[in-house]
Amino acid sequence: MWTLRDKYCIAGIGETAYSKASGRTVLDLASDACLKAANDAGVALEDIDGIVSFNFNDSVPAIAVATGLGVPAAQYAVDYAGGGNAANLIVLAAAAAIEAGLAKNVLCYRAMNGRSGFRLGGGRELSARGVTQYTAPFGWITYPQAMAMWCRRHMLKYGTTSAQLAAVAITCRQNAALNERAMQREPMTLEDYMRSRMIVEPFRMLDICLESDGACAVLVTSAERARDLRNRPVHIMGGAYGGGPNQGDDLFDALRWPDHAHNYSKYIAADVWKSAGVGPGDVDVAEIYDCFTYSVIMQLEGFGFCHEGEGGRYVQGGRISRDGELPINTHGGLLSEAYIHGLNHVLEAVRQLRGSAGARQIAGAEIAFTSAGAMTCGSAMVLRR
């Protein structure tokens, strides 16, 4: 379990514009976001000695950013192979590296041309090797197709409805309307949702996140160093990474998962809250990984914001809206801001805790929750100002 409560901070954030066609290389996007995060913190690149990222063979390695930006002494330049599951993990890993003495100031980034370049949602290799030989030959190929299976299971077991999925999509869109960076800002009604094209039952188009070009970065350092830096530090109270038994042979495979009506969140919740020393009721704003609408519902249950099976009812009636009991995805999330694989959730949490979220600001936000992941493994953090 994480034992470094409040000892490490996010001291800087940086990001590029989000678009469908950046016209820039992934190296450019990654370097841009990293440079902004270092500048935001007021840390010179000469003092950066760690760079951590995660990718799906769709990005540039940390050493490339270090080389391109002329970081002279990148000692801990490491790439995790991962998807959305890793977006909070890399921040925790950065702090762990500092604690171990491997680095002092670590940049964490996620960068990709996720729409104009490598489209994660678009399909996979058509030669079915490894565990894929037991899935793809049946026309079970894309991530929307993978995760629709989970959503259906939740519907079967708990009676979750399309209108409940819609409540998540509509909430994210309402928040995105206040976010000038968001890729989708036009209002969405329940009727719009219901009329959107069925892609893979039970998912309509509006259950599925965006595809985006862009990059996000954060700078992680010790609380002691963060005190002297340019911006108000955001403390990492607690966090965890992991999942349950039988996480599978890759990030698609969940053939042996105990029950698709719940996901990784159920298995790491106890460590997240225990390490942070607070509980779900203490959270002022929650940025929850929303690659699909259902994943928010499963995580609300798994992390204990509501009981198992009650997530569908929980998201209705405005409880998760900006002025509700638990404001979620105040930037618009992956569904309406951009798909930067969950690191954009961390940036939004930092803004909320700094009090710099503008029209989206949740008044008096002191504790934020972030999560990353939807299936068998994932990560989460509790942050405070």
Binding residues for another protein, rule: CB under 8 A, are 122-123, 125-142, 145, 148-150, 152-153, 156, 197-202, 246, 249, 255-256, 260
Which amino acid type is present at position 266?
Answer: K
Radius of gyration of the chain (CA): 19
Nearest alpha-carbon partner for 112 in 225, 9, 213: 213
Clarify whether 339 is annotated catalytic.
yes
Q: Identify residue 253 by its one-letter amino acid code.
A: D
Q: In sequence order, what are the residues at sequence separation of 6 or more whose Cβ sits closer than 8 angstroms to the Cβ of residue 270?
A: none
Of 21 and 198, the one with the shorter C-beta distance to another protein is 198
The region, left, alpha or beta by phi > 0 then psi within -120 to 50, assigned to residue 134 is alpha
We find the least distance from the C-beta atom of residue 177 to another protein, in angstroms, to be: 27
**Residue 98 host element (H or E):** helix 89-99
Token pair 């070009």 is at which residue? 213
Chain position carrying tokens 């995790």:
80
Nearest to 276 by CA among 323, 238, 326: 238
Distance CA 351, CA 54 (A): 22
The least distance separating another protein from the CB of residue 148, rounded to whole angstroms, comes to 4
Q: Which is nearer to another protein, 144 or 214 (CB)?
A: 144
Q: How far is the CB of 120 from another protein (least distance, A)?
A: 12
Q: How far apart are CA 358 and CA 367, in angstroms?
A: 17
Least distance in angstroms from the C-beta of 203 to another protein = 8
CA-CA-CA-CA torsion for 41, 45, 48, 54, nearest 10 degrees?
80
DSSP bridge pairs for 287:
370
Told to judge if 294 belongs to the known catalytic residues of this protein, a careful annotator would answer no
Nearer to another protein, 21 or 134 (CB): 134
Q: In angstroms, what is the minimal distance from the CB of 157 to another protein?
A: 8
Only one residue has tokens 């942050």, namely 383
Cβ–Cβ under 8 Å, residues 209 and 337: no
Q: Minimum Å distance from CB 261 to another protein? A: 9
Q: In the bound complex, what is the minimum distance in angstroms from residue 73's beta carbon to another protein?
A: 43
Residues in a beta bridge with 382:
238, 369
**Closer Cβ to another protein, 263 or 344, answer by number:** 263
Q: Which of 273, 145, 271 is nearest to 198 (CA)?
A: 145
Catalytic residue among 158, 241, 264, 289: 289
Q: Peptide bond before 202: cis, by omega within 30 degrees of 0? A: yes
User: CB-wise, 132 or 321, nearer to another protein?
Assistant: 132
- Residue 139: alpha-carbon gap to chain centroid: 28
Sheet with 213-222: strands ordered across: 76-81, 50-55, 106-113, 213-222, 8-15, 234-243, 377-384, 367-372, 285-287
Helix (H, G, I), strand (E, B) or coil at 114: coil
Tell me which of 8, 76, 267, 339 is the catalytic residue.
Answer: 339
- Closer residue to another protein in complex, CB, 66/148: 148
Q: Pick between residue 133 and residue 356 the one whose CB is nearest to another protein.
A: 133
Residue 202 or 239 with smaller CB distance to another protein: 202
Report in angstroms how near the CB of residue 130 gets to another protein at its nearest. Answer: 8
Q: What amino acid positions are annotated as catalytic residues?
A: 289, 339
